Amino acid sequence: MRPRGRKVAAGVLCALVLGGGLGGGLVGCGRSEGGLASAGPTPTAVGPVRLWPDLPPATNPPVDYGESDTQRVPGIDVPDNDVHSLDAVAVVAAEVRAHPGTYSGADGMYEQTARAILACGTAPAACPVMRPYYRDLTGNGRDELIVGIRMPDQQVGVRVYLAENGGLTRIMATVDQVISVELAGRDLIMRVGSAGIPGYEYRTAWSWDEQQHSMLPTRDEIVRVKPAGSGPSTVPAPRLVSPTPTPTPGSPDGLTDGPAPVPAPVPVEPSP
């Protein structure tokens, strides 16, 4: 057994020597037939270089981003912590009533949008609350409620709610000129237009952060897109899926598509 072990060890040593490159001078070990061949010299690794190492550390601690976005929704009970039992319009309307006249921040709402939300019961066709989606974004084994709200100037508000302890907590709220919203695993990915950089758009992935108990923008990038008619875009088209119906005890089949009667998206194949 020992001679065989030394033979294996020699083979491993040969592979390690070849991996080092040695300027590409070695062509193999052992027999020439079927032996290993050098792939050439390995580029020198360049590590990170710290700039201005003498800068003093910041005296103020960093702000805990996202804590202001987390808020308990007043007056909303969630039996068995099941968000499928909720009415998305009632959830958003509860927030509007709790923060009247708030036009900025996580609770901000256009005045005309707030009025339309409170009138969804009598004017459902003009209701700005879109059909809800459901996805386990926190990894707790239960779905969260994802709500979209149409606003003026082609803007869309996106809010995510977590059911816990029999109540509802809003864990994300943002408003932007949305191009698309996608779900990828436990991430919510938003593509929005870039007003200041023509030909580009922003793509942000929102992910659950356990420490903040909130959804935070964990990855943010600027993506170049080609103008219409100049060939395929560098960003693939999103794959559209239909919303999950919300169960309603009073409906004949136990399901309802939500308060706003908008047509369901049709699946679109990604651009090549």
pLDDT tens for residues 50-73? 899 898 887 876 655 544 457 899
Residue 195: pLDDT band with limits 50, 70, 90: confident
pLDDT at residue 265 in the model: 46
Coil, helix or strand at residue 3: helix
pLDDT at residue 48 in the model: 85
* CA 203 – CA 223 distance, rounded (Å): 7
245-252: average pLDDT: 44
201-207: average pLDDT: 95
Choose from 9-18, 122-131, 193-202 the range with maximum mean pLDDT: 122-131
Please tell me which residue, 155 or 233, carries the higher pLDDT value. 155
Average pLDDT along the chain: 78
pLDDT at residue 230 in the model: 57
Taking Cα atoms as reference points, which of 86, 119, 81, 94 lies closest to residue 248? 86
Tokens standing for residue 94: 């509860």
Residue 201: pLDDT band with limits 50, 70, 90: very high
